[in-house]
Homo-oligomer: A and B are copies of this chain.
């Protein structure tokens, strides 16, 4: 009960809520909404670290996503309380070892290499990669290109020391199946930042969906590369990835996605004009191929370092369905 104990932990988070009109291509109808996470998925939580001496540090993070429009825990039904982070780590000259739930290898390469960051509402790259859409009857209309979640449970992450702007992360997610250690997720990513240049790559070989403890019938092998360059008047982004899904039993190919994205961010006034495009070509072995392209443009105005307001328009086209436009006007506040 002492005030001094407070220095061991920081309470923080982000609330992002927007009003708008939303319809992805192939969805049943337009919805007028107040929704959460127009620019960043809302979250709250607890973090801290302790200096253990000799360059060694203990770190922990307990953070959870929530719906800023309803107060519901998580990103969807079945998500855990601390869906964003639930881990403990030791960091030192050797790098960093983390145990628990934390980032998947696909997360940072995706959100740091597109101008809309981790917007699960309006970033074309994130929407193609990580947001499923559904038809009127509830059936899946668009399956995310990344089969595994953006966060992995039951995971060990090893992070290298930073070497001249380069960091790499090795991820291993235990399947925790009785008598079967062959079901698991593995991945690696690398991030390089030097002056105006940013470069990234990731690879994962994944069979598990998290936090929902399901084992998939397919094993996915994904490779992605991305880059950014800051010309000062504008920052440019580009990514390319291939997601190959194989039947877990035989290894036979089930489907392959090829997804590329391009983006621009330009400082204008006390904010940034944002524009991004993503294009996916989906080859299905047992069904007709399909394509999707999505384009977003927005303006993000900073009232302070912690608070910004934004407006975004997005056009989304899934082959065989009408192009649909979504708009949102929101507030994002960090605490």
- Chain A residues with a Cβ under 8 A of chain B: 1-3, 5-13, 15-19, 23, 27-36, 44, 46-50, 52-53, 56, 58, 60, 62, 64, 66-73, 80-90, 99-101, 136, 153-156, 174-181, 210-211, 213, 303-304, 306-307, 309, 330-335
Q: CA A46 – CA B9 in complex, angstroms? A: 12
**Contact in complex: A66, B88 (CB < 8 Å):** no
Partner of A71, one of B66, B70, B101: B101
Interface of A is mostly: strand
Partner of A58, one of B155, B177, B307: B307
**Contact in complex: A303, B333 (CB < 8 Å):** no
**Contact in complex: A8, B154 (CB < 8 Å):** no
Task: Please indicate the chain B residues that have their CB under 8 angstroms from the CB of A64 in the complex.
Answer: 71
Partner of A304, one of B6, B46, B58, B331: B58
**Contact in complex: B11, A3 (CB < 8 Å):** no
Task: Please indicate the chain B residues that have their CB under 8 angstroms from the CB of A7 in the complex.
Answer: 3
Distance (whole angstroms) from the CB of A269 to the closest CB of chain B: 16
Are A70 and B86 also in contact (CB < 8 A) when A32-B181, A174-B34, A179-B29 are? yes
Task: Please indicate the chain B residues that have their CB under 8 angstroms from the CB of A17 in the complex.
Answer: 87-88, 99-100
Measured CB to CB, the nearest residue on chain B to A70 is B153
Partner of A69, one of B1, B66, B101: B101
Are A333 and B178 also in contact (CB < 8 A) when A15-B87, A80-B67 are? no
